[in-house]
Structure 1
Amino acid sequence: MTRSGTARALIRLLAAAPLVLTAVACSSPPAPAPSPDQASVRPGDLELPAGTRALLADAERALVQDCMARQGFSFFYDSTDPAELRAETARRYWDLTLDDVPRSRREGFGPAADSAPLPASRAERQEQAYLAQLPPQRRAAWADALMGPSGQDRIKVDVPGVGIMEHPTAGCFAQARTRLFGDYEKWLRADTFVHARFRPVEQAVTGSPEYREATARWSTCVKGRGHAFATPEDARARASALSRDQAIALAVATAVCDRQVGRSETHRSLYEQATVDWIERHPTQAADFRRLNAEAARRLTTLTTAPDPVPDTATATEPVS
Structure 2
Amino acid sequence: MRRHHPARAAAAAAAVLLLLGGCGPAAGAPGGASSEAAPGRSGRAEPLAPAREPSAAETRLLERAEQILISRCMDGRGFPYAVTEAPDTGARTFPYGVDDVEWARAHGYGGRDERTAARAREADPNQRYFRGLSASGRAAARTALMGSAPVGLSATAPTGMTITASPEGCIADAERTLYGDLATWFRVKVVTMNLRPLRETRVHEDRRYADAVGQWAACMRAAGRPYAGPDASRQAAARFGESMQPAEADAAEAELAVIEATCASGTPLARVSKALDHTYGEQLRARHQEEIALRWRLQNGALPTARQACEEHGSEQHGSEREDQTPHSRPSGGSHA
Task: Report if TM-score (shorter chain) is over 0.5.
Answer: yes
Letter in 2 for 1:312: G
Does the 8 Å contact 1:154/1:168 carry over to 2?
yes
Query: How many Å separate the matches in 2 of 1:252 and 1:200?
Result: 28
Residue of structure 2 equivalent to 1:56? 62
Q: Deviations over 1:265-318 (max 9, x none)?
A: 321221222122222222222222222223324663587589966552234589
| Equivalent position amino acid for 1:197 in 2 | L
Distance 1:180 1:26 in 2: 17
Distance 1:59 1:258 in 2: 41
How many residues get paired?
Answer: 274
Give 5+ residue unaligned stretches, structure 1. Answer: 1-18, 36-48
Match of 1:197 in 2: 195
1:167 and 2:161 matched: no
Q: Which residue in the other structure is 1:119 paired with?
A: 122
Q: Please tell me whether the aligned partners of residues 70 and 81 of structure 2 are also in contact (alpha carbons under 8 angstroms).
A: no
Cα distance in 1 for partners of 2:114, 2:163 equals 25
Deviates more, 1:167-176 or 1:108-117: 108-117
Q: 1:239 aligns with which of 232, 237, 242?
A: 237
Which residue number corresponds to residue 207 of structure 1?
205
204-213 or 283-292, larger mean C-alpha shift: 283-292
Q: Distance in 2 between matches of 1:272 and 1:172?
A: 37
CA change 1:142–1:199 in 2 (3 A) is closer
Q: CA deviation at 1:140?
A: 6.1
> Does 1:177 pair with 2:175?
yes
Tell me, in whole angstroms, the C-alpha distance in 1 between the residues paired with 2:220 and 2:303: 46
Provide the rounded CA distance (Å) in 2 between the counterparts of 1:240 and 1:169. 39
Q: Give the counterpart letter for 1:74 in structure 2.
A: F
Paired residue secondary structure (1:80): coil
Say if 2:293 is the partner of 1:287.
Answer: yes
Q: Does 2:265 match 1:266?
A: no
> Residues 238 and 113 from structure 1, CA distance in 2 versus in 1: closer, same or farther, beyond 3 angstroms?
farther
Does residue 49 of structure 2 align to residue 29 of structure 1? yes
3-state SS in 2 of match to 1:312? helix
Q: Output the amino acid matched with 2:65.
A: A
Between the aligned partners of 2:212 and 2:122, the Cα distance in structure 1 is: 39
Letter in 2 for 1:147: M
Please list every run of 5 or more consecutive structure 2 residues that lacks an aligned counterpart in the other structure.
1-38, 241-247, 321-331
The one-letter amino acid paired with 1:33 is E
SS of 1:119's equivalent in the other structure is helix
2:51 and 2:294 in contact (8 A); partners too: no
Q: Which residue of 2 aligns with 1:109?
A: 109
Q: Percent identity?
A: 24
Q: Separation in 2 of the partners of 1:273 and 1:219?
A: 24
1:99 CA displacement: 1.7
- Which residue type is aligned with residue 108 of structure 2? G
Contact 1:31 1:295 in 2 (8 A): no
- The residue aligned with 1:312 is 319
8 Å Cα contact 1:75-1:127 kept in structure 2? no
Q: Deviations over 1:51-89 (max 9, x none)?
A: 444322221122123233344x123124214635xx4xx
Question: CA contact under 8 A between 2:74 and 2:170: conserved in structure 1?
Answer: yes
CA deviation after TM superposition for structure 1 residue 232, in Å: 1.6
Aligned to 1:32, what secondary structure does the other structure show? coil
Over the residues paired in the alignment, what is the CA RMSD in angstroms? Answer: 3.7
Give 1:180 deviation, angstroms.
0.7
Q: CA deviation at 1:231?
A: 0.9
Q: Any idea what SS the aligned residue of 1:212 has?
A: helix
Residue-by-residue CA offset, 1:80-121 (whole Å, 9 max, x unaligned): 14635xx4xx43x32357221111111222229997954251
TM-score between the two structures when normalised by the length of structure 2: 0.67
1:303/1:66 Cα in 2 relative to 1: closer, same or farther (>3 Å)?
Answer: closer
Alignment-derived partner of residue 24 in structure 2: none
> How far off is 1:123 after superposition?
1.8
Return the letter of the residue paired with 1:259. Answer: S
Match of 1:6 in 2: none
